[in-house]
């Protein structure tokens, strides 16, 4: 498959150049970071109107930094780089990220980027679900300046996000987790190189009394146009005593929040059932991490 | 419309005029006659096209050739060492290549070059990978002939040899 | 005499080339001036083409030829390589391009251009006006009165309807203590060879065609292409590739690509290449879905009294392999598997507006084995019989008349030993009843059998079964072997070289398969299919080697002043039996035969061998002496997560009577690869289509799921039983198909043993298990 309308492949070295290009080509511009999603679209003939490919690999947008407020992931940080980061490997609070980053095949991890997987806004991906559960925020820049979009507001539809055509993601920030926080992620897949039938990312923070002080339950895969933040499950967890019983109740509540689809990968009922089972298992996994895990916060 | 790119492939520098939407796989096969990377699906599903870019395994079918500008690309043809002993054996094989022969991990061979390139990154980064690590490292590569058992054996064999 | 090469895991001669790039694949073929072609495919599953306008496409710079149905010969053919096109058993219902579309994706036009991109752009400029017709995707609906009719010749869309009957079925059921009935269904799956279908065809302008293609049969492609084009076969020269990137039966028929490339090549007067995309490959060939209605009568102690089955095969838009798969399915999958006096089978190969099925390892047998072997376990469970004993009791016995090939017997037949040794290795007797394990992970063991199978096609009406070989010795003591047998990856080159080396007394490295064979230079060979190459082509190689050897020993006899009958060849030397000191290198013998009549050396004129002057060469073209049956049993251990329905195959043990192992490592590789395909078949693979448009929903590997290294069991153990078949080369029979047939029912039986849940339709997805466990509502 080729791009019949393509006029050029740009490799800007200044952000201003990028913003100009985005302004010039508007809807007909396509940012390329790792290109793995872009190629997927191209292979399905969905890019026939693209006139400009804009490679953002030489803007210096990569890199991971950490400070008192949390971590900042440059948009072109690859999934492999993120997976090697110390906090991902060791901090139970970032366990969801560690789990999610295990799923993509190495060939995708090596080129796929943090910004790319978010901007793709495909709820079938795993890493964004984890970033979402960790309260990530997209730091966006464009002709109108810079702004921050919490991931909560970032995904607005299937392949659709809150970016304006002249904007790009410069970085993603994750706030410093509270003490006694752990997270986990699970994906339902048919084989080890698959897109999620459903996936679940959870984060729990326990109070001093061992009760659930804060939580996030995010579900992806074919459960809606976007990732679903399962408010009912989070409400059920609130103030409860972390453990099997609470997790089972909270997981069951997920059913109210999702609207699974039926397609060739699974039926609505199956997805619903599995979202419940996986939510419970993910919560248990997170709690297990908290107990056995290393230092926190 | 064509873009001029400089590609460093297996240690040689090539200056090429390519279509901006040409993939690295297309350029390697069609412009540079490197047939090791193979097209099995063109969409990140089979791994037959796996090569290294700056030491990392990538699907060459999912990368624009232009974006490989100034990077070091290594295909299966770039593995191993030149053998100057003049004994007619040509290149000395990489331990992985030899292990694939010795373990009987090659059947139709269409997946082989891609699998070796994925396994190569594993052995470059992990000293003595266990069976699970090996299987996950090649999870992005499909093989329809071998059932993977002898491929896993070969990677273990090579790990022991390195 | 002890064997020195047969039975050894010698490395593949083609391995080094393959690990350094792989020059030999047809996908690499490039010819000077070559054009690239693309096909336009119908978006509708059933339609009449009213008008095609190609003018804009023709005007696009770089476009060199355009083809529409009006430009194609309207001679109906069948695609199947291993039968003559006009064989009575085949249905000739195909055209290269037709103005009736019968499945979504059928080619309706093609363009050859100077680049793939230009060809693709040109396709977009072709205007086609269709009249949509009512369509039918379900074969049983297609058989109903009033269903949309696909072909004029086929009433109720029934392409073929074979019936086979033995004994008196009614009497058999009357004699039964119990009668069991069940319906078993299998899905459409793809062979997933990794090298796409690709060809380059060069028409020379004088009516000759040179063809390169990734296919499983040189001579089949020659015959089919000549038939389609309406020219004598000798005008088509098919080049043998050194190897191809997998086939598994999926390249056992001429595609659209070869005739289309040929016709475009004539028009453009340049070579034309077509390489299919993975999506195109997915809609080019498949294992046929078959629904089996099974009814079985049994005595209270577990002996078959009557067996009846009706099988409905969805052949898609054209009959092609569907006309033959149905027969193999009925005969070797069902009727002949076990002893039973009263049996009947009815098969229906039914046209639908689905993609056309093809050949696939096992060829109809996996669909039947799933039904038969699942039902036997159901019977045993119901009647509390031991599943091993049940099969043993009903099995054919060594020495029985061959149930299919008249006049032959099951001389070597170690089915019983397969059962015993396999069961022992996996610990079948120690299995526990369903749901013994506490917790949600349940463990189970199961097995299934392919009691009878083939080593080639001897005895099958209409199917070619002969092979040929040429072996030529060189003065340096090496030999060149030429044959038309194709190496699909399964090691045919290696096996045939081993047989030649063993027979000639040469070291393995001394025998090479020539890379320059084509249909003009080597004798006919039937395709690489039906597990036939080792047995059948192996016999031909052995015959050719023996001819060469006879001549070689004659010359050696003259040189050693010994009787040729007293000589033996081994490790590159010829020795007088019993006198190891009197010997000569094979190289010297060949050199002598090839030398000038009088060769003057430092020592003066050398002696000559006038009587035996000439190249030491052996030629054969021969049919095998039989069609001995292998036997096989596959065991698996699974775990089932009853919360998620997920099944893992933890371990597999596979026992197979293959007569003689030629190459143990290669044989294991066949089994392990067979299990990969079969586990996919059992648990996940499924070609799915949009129910309104017929478009393929699983056209890439993100949607068509097959096992990666992660889903495969950590251990697949092969037990090879050597029954030493007297008609086989060094005792060999066949191996490669039953290992793909038995795992699916073995897995279904193991899932039942783990959970008490019986699934009768493939693939056994987690979702189906959850429904059966009552954890999900059924549809
Ligand atoms: C075979 C395969 C398997 C996969 N398996 C998994 C898996 O198991 N788990 C998982 O989580 N994911 C998986 N993925 C998805 C993968 O993670 C994403 O494709 C990848 O992360 C996208 O990043 P990229 O840099 O390649 O994006 P690109 O393809 O470069 O871009 C993606 C989209 O985002 C836009 N974009 C990119 N960067 C920016 C930016 N900075 N600002 C604004 N817009 C931008 C692009 O224009 C494009 O629309 C898989 C993908 C493939 C092809
Ligand atoms: S060809 Fe690149 S992954 Fe299949
Ligand atoms: S060896 Fe054939 S696909 Fe792997």
CB contact under 8 A, B147 and C192: no
- Architecture in CATH of C466-622: 2-Layer Sandwich (3.30)
pLDDT at A168: 98
Q: Tell me whether the omega of the peptide bond preceding residue C763 falls within 30 degrees of 0, making it cis.
A: yes
In B, minimum Cα distance to A36 occurs at B62
| CA distance linking residue C613 with residue C249, whole number of Å | 44
Which of C477, C485, C623, C495 is closest to C552 using CA atoms?
C477
Instruction: State mean pLDDT over C381-404.
Output: 97
Which of A1, A193, A270 minimises the CB distance to C767? A270
| CA distance linking residue C334 with residue C313, whole number of Å | 14
Inter-helix orientation angle B95-102/B149-161, to 10°: 140
pLDDT at C609: 59
Token output for C579: 């006198």
CA C347 to chain centre: 21
CATH of region C33-133+191-282: 3.90.1170.50
CB contact under 8 A, A190 and C702: no
- The CATH H-level superfamily of B3-78 is Beta-grasp domain (3.10.20.30)
Query: CB distance from B40 to chain C under 8 Å?
Result: yes
CB contact under 8 A, C684 and A277: no
CB contact under 8 A, B121 and A193: no
- Cβ pair C620, C544 in contact under 8 A: yes
**Does the model's ipTM exceed the 0.95 cut?**
yes
Could you state, in order of their start, the residue ranges of all structural domains in chain B?
Answer: 3-78, 81-161
**pLDDT level of residue C601 (50, 70, 90 thresholds):** confident
**Does the structure show a pLDDT above 60 at A294?**
no
**pLDDT level of residue C515 (50, 70, 90 thresholds):** confident
- How does pLDDT run across A14-37, given as a tens digit for each residue? 999 999 999 999 999 999 999 999
Task: Give the residue ranges of DSSP H helices in B49-107.
Answer: 95-102
Which of C259, C217, C223 is closest to C240 using CA atoms?
C217
- Cβ pair C544, C467 in contact under 8 A: no
- Cβ pair C79, C254 in contact under 8 A: yes
Strand order in the sheet with C100-101: C100-101, C47-53, C127-132
CATH of region C135-189+286-384: 3.30.365.10
| CA distance linking residue C151 with residue C155, whole number of Å | 8
Residue reference for tokens 């506490």: C438
**Does the structure show a pLDDT above 70 at B60?**
yes
Q: Where in chain C is the domain with CATH 3.30.365.10?
A: 135-189+286-384, 466-622
**Does the structure show a pLDDT above 60 at B88?**
no
- How does pLDDT run across B24-36, given as a tens digit for each residue? 999 999 999 999 9
| CA distance linking residue B41 with residue B57, whole number of Å | 17
Instruction: State mean pLDDT over C756-779.
Output: 95
- How does pLDDT run across C110-141, given as a tens digit for each residue? 999 999 999 999 999 999 999 999 999 999 99
- Cβ pair C504, C479 in contact under 8 A: yes
Token output for C629: 């049956």
Residue nearest to atom 15 of ligand 1 (CA): A125
**pLDDT level of residue A297 (50, 70, 90 thresholds):** very low
Which of A96, A66, A93 is closest to A177 using CA atoms?
A93
> What SS3 string covers C408-474?
CECCCCCHHHHHHHHHHHHCHHHCCCCCCCCCCEEEEEEEEEECCCCCCCCCCCCCCCCEEEEEEEC
**pLDDT level of residue A1 (50, 70, 90 thresholds):** low
**Does the structure show a pLDDT above 80 at B143?**
yes
**Does the structure show a pLDDT above 60 at A56?**
yes
Chain A residue numbers with beta carbons less than 8 Å from the beta carbon of B64 are: 9, 32, 35, 53, 55
Token output for A121: 């806004």
Query: CB distance from B136 to chain A under 8 Å?
Result: yes
Span from the CA of A54 to the centroid of ligand 2 (angstroms): 23
pLDDT at A295: 43
Task: Give the residue ranges of DSSP H helices in C489-585.
Answer: 492-504, 538-560
Which of C708, C770, C775 minimises the CB distance to A193? C708
**Does the structure show a pLDDT above 60 at A198?**
yes
**Does the structure show a pLDDT above 70 at B89?**
no
Minimum mean pLDDT among A122-126, A242-246, C404-408: which range? C404-408
Say if domain B81-161 classifies as CATH 1.10.150.120: yes
Token output for C559: 């040189």
Residue nearest to atom 3 of ligand 3 (CA): B143
Instruction: State mean pLDDT over C105-109.
Output: 98
- Does ligand 1 come within 6 angstroms of the Cβ of A32? yes
- Cβ pair A142, A19 in contact under 8 A: yes
Number of helices and strands in chain C (H, E): 19, 29
Residue C584 CB contacts under 8 Å (≥ 6 apart), including other chains: C556, C559, C560, C573, C574
Token output for C598: 């009088």
- Cβ pair C345, C293 in contact under 8 A: no
| CA distance linking residue C366 with residue C329, whole number of Å | 8
Mean pLDDT score across all residues of chain C:
96
> What SS3 string covers A145-168?
EEEEEEHHHHEEECCEECCCCCCE
| CA distance linking residue C309 with residue C293, whole number of Å | 5
Binding partners of A (≥3 Cβ pairs within 8 A): B, C
pLDDT at C597: 77
CB contact under 8 A, C22 and B138: no
Q: For chain C, give the percent of residues with pLDDT over 90.
A: 95
**Does the structure show a pLDDT above 90 at C693?**
yes
| CA distance linking residue C572 with residue A114, whole number of Å | 63
**pLDDT level of residue C610 (50, 70, 90 thresholds):** low
Which of A192, A63, A102, A110 is closest to B124 using CA atoms?
A110
């Amino acid at each position: 498959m080729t791009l019949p309308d393509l006029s050029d492949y740009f490799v800007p070295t200044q952000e201003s150049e990028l913003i100009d290009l985005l302004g010039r080509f508007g809807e007909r511009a396509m940012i390329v970071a790792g290109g793995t999603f872009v190629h997927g679209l191209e292979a399905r003939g969905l890019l026939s109107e693209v006139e400009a490919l804009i490679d953002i690999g030489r803007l210096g947008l990569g890199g991971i930094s950490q400070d008192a407020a949390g971590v900042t992931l440059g948009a072109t940080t690859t999934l492999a780089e993120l997976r090697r980061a110390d906090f991902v490997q060791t901090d139970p609070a970032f366990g969801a990220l560690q789990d999610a980053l295990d799923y993509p095949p190495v060939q995708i991890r090596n080129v796929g980027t943090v910004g790319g997987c978010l901007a793709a806004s495909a709820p079938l991906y795993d890493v964004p679900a984890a970033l979402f559960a960790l309260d990530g925020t997209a730091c966006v820049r464009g002709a109108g300046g810079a702004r921050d979009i919490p991931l909560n507001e970032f995904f607005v539809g299937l392949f659709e996000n809150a970016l304006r055509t002249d904007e790009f993601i410069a970085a993603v920030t994750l706030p410093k987790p509270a003490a006694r926080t752990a997270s986990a992620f699970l994906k339902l897949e048919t084989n080890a190189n698959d897109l999620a039938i459903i996936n679940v990312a959870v984060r729990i923070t326990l109070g001093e009394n061992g009760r659930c002080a804060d939580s996030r339950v995010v579900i992806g895969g074919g459960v809606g146009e976007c990732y679903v933040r399962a408010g009912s499950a989070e409400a059920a967890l609130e103030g409860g005593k972390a453990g099997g019983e609470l997790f089972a109740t909270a997981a069951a509540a997920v059913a109210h929040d999702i609207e699974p689809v039926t397609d060739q990968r699974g039926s609505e009922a199956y997805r619903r059932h599995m979202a419940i089972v996986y939510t419970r298992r993910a919560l248990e996994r997170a709690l297990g991490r908290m107990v056995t895990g290393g230092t926190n916060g | 419309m064509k873009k001029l790119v400089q590609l460093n492939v297996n240690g040689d520098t090539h200056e090429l005029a390519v279509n901006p939407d040409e993939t690295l796989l297309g350029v390697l096969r069609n412009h540079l006659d490197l047939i090791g990377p193979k097209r099995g699906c063109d969409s990140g599903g089979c791994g037959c096209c796996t090569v290294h870019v700056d030491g990392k395994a990538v699907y060459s079918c999912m990368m624009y050739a232009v974006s490989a500008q100034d990077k070091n690309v290594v295909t299966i043809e770039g593995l191993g060492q030149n053998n100057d002993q003049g004994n007619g054996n040509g290149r000395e094989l990489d331990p992985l290549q030899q292990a694939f022969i010795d373990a009987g991990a090659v059947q139709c061979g269409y997946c082989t070059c891609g699998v070796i390139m994925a396994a190569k990154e594993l052995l470059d980064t992990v000293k003595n990978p266990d069976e699970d690590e090996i299987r996950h490292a090649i999870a992005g590569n499909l093989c329809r002939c071998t059932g993977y058992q002898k491929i896993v054996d070969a990677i273990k064999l090579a790990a022991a040899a390195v | 005499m002890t064997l020195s090469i047969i039975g050894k895991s010698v490395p593949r001669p083609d391995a080094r080339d393959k690990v350094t790039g792989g020059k030999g694949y047809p996908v690499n073929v490039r010819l000077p001036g070559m054009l690239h072609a693309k096909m336009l495919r119908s978006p509708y599953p059933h339609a009449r083409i009213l008008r095609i306008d190609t003018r804009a496409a023709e005007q696009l710079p770089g476009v060199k030829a355009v083809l529409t149905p009006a430009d194609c010969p309207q001679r109906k053919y069948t695609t199947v390589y291993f039968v003559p096109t006009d064989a009575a058993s085949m249905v000739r219902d195909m055209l290269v391009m037709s103005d009736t579309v019968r499945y979504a994706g059928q080619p309706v036009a093609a363009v050859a251009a100077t680049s793939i991109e230009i060809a693709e752009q040109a396709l977009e400029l072709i205007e086609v006006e269709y009249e949509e017709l009512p369509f039918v995707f379900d074969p049983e609906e297609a058989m109903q009165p009033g269903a949309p009719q696909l072909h004029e010749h086929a009433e109720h869309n029934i392409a073929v309807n074979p019936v086979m009957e033995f004994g008196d079925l009614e009497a058999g059921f009357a004699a039964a203590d119990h009668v069991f009935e069940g319906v078993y269904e299998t899905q459409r799956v793809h062979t997933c060879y990794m090298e796409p279908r690709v060809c380059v065809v060069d028409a020379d302008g004088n009516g000759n065609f040179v063809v390169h293609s990734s296919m499983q049969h040189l001579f089949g492609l020659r015959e089919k292409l000549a038939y389609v084009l309406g020219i004598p076969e000798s005008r088509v020269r098919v080049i043998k590739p050194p190897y191809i990137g997998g086939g598994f039966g999926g390249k056992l028929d001429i595609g659209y690509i070869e005739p289309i490339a040929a016709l475009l090549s004539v028009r453009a007067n340049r070579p034309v290449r077509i390489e299919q995309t993975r999506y195109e490959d997915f809609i080019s060939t498949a294992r046929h879905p078959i629904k089996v209605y099974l009814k079985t009568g049994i005595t209270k102690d577990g002996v078959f009294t009557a067996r009846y089955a009706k099988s409905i095969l969805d052949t898609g838009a054209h009959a092609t392999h569907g006309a033959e798969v149905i027969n193999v399915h009925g005969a070797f999958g069902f009727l002949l598997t076990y002893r039973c006096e009263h049996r009947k089978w009815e098969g229906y190969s039914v046209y639908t507006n689905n993609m056309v099925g093809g050949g696939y390892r096992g060829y109809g047998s996996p669909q039947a084995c799933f039904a038969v072997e699942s039902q036997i376990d159901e019977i045993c469970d119901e009647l509390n019989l031991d599943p091993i004993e049940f099969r043993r009791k009903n099995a054919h016995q060594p020495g029985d008349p061959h149930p299919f090939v008249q006049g032959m017997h099951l001389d070597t037949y170690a089915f019983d030993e397969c059962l015993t040794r396999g069961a022992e290795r996996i610990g079948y007797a120690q299995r526990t009843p369903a749901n013994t394990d506490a917790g949600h992970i349940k463990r189970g063991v199961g097995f299934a059998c392919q009691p009878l199978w083939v080593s080639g096609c001897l005895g099958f009406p209409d199917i070619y079964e002969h092979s040929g070989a040429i072996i030529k010795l060189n003065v340096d003591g090496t030999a060149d072997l030429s044959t038309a047998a194709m190496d699909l990856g399964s090691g045919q080159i290696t096996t045939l070289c081993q047989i030649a080396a063993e027979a000639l007394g040469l070291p393995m490295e001394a025998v090479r398969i020539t890379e320059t064979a084509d249909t003009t230079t080597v004798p006919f060979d039937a395709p690489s299919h039906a597990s036939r190459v080792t047995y059948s082509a192996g016999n031909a190689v052995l015959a050719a080697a023996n001819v060469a050897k006879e001549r070689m020993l004659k010359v050696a006899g003259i040189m050693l002043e010994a009787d040729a009958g007293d000589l033996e060849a081994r490790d590159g030397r010829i020795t007088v039996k019993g006198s190891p000191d009197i010997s000569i290198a094979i190289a010297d013998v060949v050199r002598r035969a090839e030398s000038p009549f009088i060769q003057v050396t430092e020592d003066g004129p050398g002696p000559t061998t006038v009587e035996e002057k000439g190249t030491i060469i052996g030629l054969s073209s021969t049919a095998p002496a039989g069609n001995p049956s292998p036997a096989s049993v596959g065991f698996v251990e699974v775990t089932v997560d009853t919360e998620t329905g997920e099944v893992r195959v933890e371990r597999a043990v596979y026992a197979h009577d293959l007569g003689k192992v030629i190459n143990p490592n290669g044989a294991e590789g066949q089994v392990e690869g067979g299990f990969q395909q079969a586990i996919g078949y059992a648990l996940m693979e499924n070609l799915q289509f949009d129910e309104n448009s017929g478009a393929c929903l699983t056209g890439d590997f993100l949607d068509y799921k097959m096992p990666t290294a992660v889903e495969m069991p950590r251990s697949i153990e092969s037990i090879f039983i050597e029954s030493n078949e007297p008609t086989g080369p060094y005792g060999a029979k066949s191996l490669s198909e039953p290992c793909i047939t038995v795992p699916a029912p073995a897995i279904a039986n193991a899932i039942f043993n783990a959970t008490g849940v019986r699934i009768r339709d493939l693939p056994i997805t987690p979702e189906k298990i959850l429904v059966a466990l009552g954890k999900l509502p059924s549809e």
